[in-house]
Structure 1
Amino acid sequence: MKTDILAFGAHPDDVELGCGGTIAKLVSEGKTCAIIDLTKGELGTRGTDEIRLEEAAQSAKILGVAARENLAMKDGFLVNSEEYQLRIVKMIRKYRPEIVLANAIDDRHPDHAKAAKLVSDACFLAGLRKIQTSLDGEFQEVWRPKQIFHYIQWKDIKPEFVIDISEHLDKKLEACMAFKTQFYDPKSTEPETPITSKDFYESLTYRAQDLGRLSGVTYAEGFTTEKLIAMKNFDGIVL
């Protein structure tokens, strides 16, 4: 399956929180997108890993992505190992994305920064011909994405560019709230966490609004990039 965009998250809901609006926008424009969750989020305070898998599937339907897979790595203990790198290499070679979206380069949860480096390294390795992989018994051709962009999560990292999601914020919020066990629910009797508060839910809007204010649109999502971006012209810039 050839996709335009492959988005990775250390945990189910990372992609929705960090770049759900961007994914929704790309899908609306006819781009093919897929999501790979590295772990099942089994250490999460609320819910279970089985429930989170169900929530992730529902969110994927809301966003309209072509596929979503979970690599079942160990939540809380991500390591940049050969085993984990090769699992990701197989996904890159399977979906053959032009662009990879990955976790924030620095964040409150240690898995996020680890996932950012793990995915980045795997993107490079996926392009090496002497690393041979197979999936479902079939040999995989090498593939290296053209760009890796990191979305922004808990920490207030300064973006190097933003995507206008003004018409897609509602879809982002809907996809996030598909994870009913994880976010604000005044009726829940489960323990509170930093992301279950009403303030956190509201921050999804006001953070997007603030990036929009700074960039001249209504709502935006920010990204950092691993290499300098070359533009053919100025046509894509919101003026």
Structure 2
Amino acid sequence: MKLDILVFGSHPDDAELGAGATIAKEIANGKKVGIVDLTLGELGTRGSAEIRAKEATDSANILGLSVRENLEFADGFFVNDKEHQLGVIRMLRKYRPETVLCNAIDDRHVDHGRGSKLVSDACYLSGLVKIDTKFDGDDKWQEPWRPKNVYHYIQWKNLQPDFVVDVTGYIEKKTEAILAYSSQFHDPRSKEPETPITSRNFLDSVKYRARDLGRLVGVEYAEGFTVERLVAVDRLGALK
């Protein structure tokens, strides 16, 4: 299956929190979108790997993803080395996306910046013809593939975006997808320990950040992204 957009997240729920409304909008516009989670999020204070896997499936169904996979790297301890790069490369060559979205380049959680660089490096290496890969259970060598675009969504830190996507009309779908992770976010009935993301304020901040970015560009809601290289347009009218 060839995808238009492949979204990577260090943990289940990263993609939804950072780019959930953009994902929902692209799918509504006919794009094939998939998510690859790097880890199971097994070190999370609340829930478990098994619970989060089920929640990730529920969220995928809400968004209408074409596919969701998990590389099962070690939460908190994966590194940007050859072994992990090859794991990401196999996914890139399997789905051959035109665009990749991945973690914030700098963030509170150590896995986010590390996951960002890992995926970014793999996107380049995936285009090199002398790197040989096979997908598990497949005897055929994969063809090289390099995405045209690599964009980084914004997470905990208020990074300055290089561009924003108008997601007016899709913020509720994003919220629904986030709330599929009921073990992780605000629930006054939960007896599990509180974390920085379990407060009502954090959940509200997802929407008010989108509203504020929207305010800056004259729309109701927007999601921000940073880029690694200059973004080209074919005419000035393409810029809003």
- Paired residue secondary structure (1:188): coil
Deviation at 1:78, TM superposition (A): 2.1
Q: Are 1:183 and 2:185 counterparts?
A: yes
For 1:148, the equivalent position in structure 2 comes to 150
For 1:44, the equivalent position in structure 2 comes to 44
Deviation at 1:236, TM superposition (A): 4.1
Deviation at 1:81, TM superposition (A): 1.0
Q: Which runs of 5 or more structure 2 residues have no equivalent in the other structure?
A: none
- Paired residue secondary structure (1:175): helix
For 1:174, the equivalent position in structure 2 comes to 176
For 1:233, the equivalent position in structure 2 comes to 235
Q: Distance in 1 between matches of 2:54 and 2:132?
A: 33
Q: Are 1:216 and 2:218 counterparts?
A: yes
Give the AA of the match of 1:104: A
For the aligned residue pairs, the C-alpha RMSD in angstroms reads 0.8
Shift in alpha-carbon separation, 1:117–1:163, aligned structure 2, 3 A: same
Give the AA of the match of 1:74: A
For 1:111, the equivalent position in structure 2 comes to 111
List structure 1 segments (4+ residues) > 3 angstroms apart after TM superposition: 234-238
Per-residue Cα deviation, 1:107-137 (whole angstroms, up to 9, x for no partner): 0000000000000000011000000101122
Q: Distance in 2 between matches of 1:83 and 1:215?
A: 42
Give the AA of the match of 1:198: R
Give the AA of the match of 2:227: T
Give the AA of the match of 1:119: V
Return the TM-score normalized by structure 1.
0.98
Q: Distance in 2 between matches of 1:75 and 1:235?
A: 44
Q: Distance in 2 between matches of 1:72 and 1:127?
A: 23
Q: Distance in 2 between matches of 1:46 and 1:94?
A: 32
Per-residue Cα deviation, 1:169-209 (whole angstroms, up to 9, x for no partner): 00000000000000011110100000000000100110000
Return the TM-score normalized by structure 2.
0.98
- Indicate the percent of aligned positions where both proteins have the same amino acid: 59
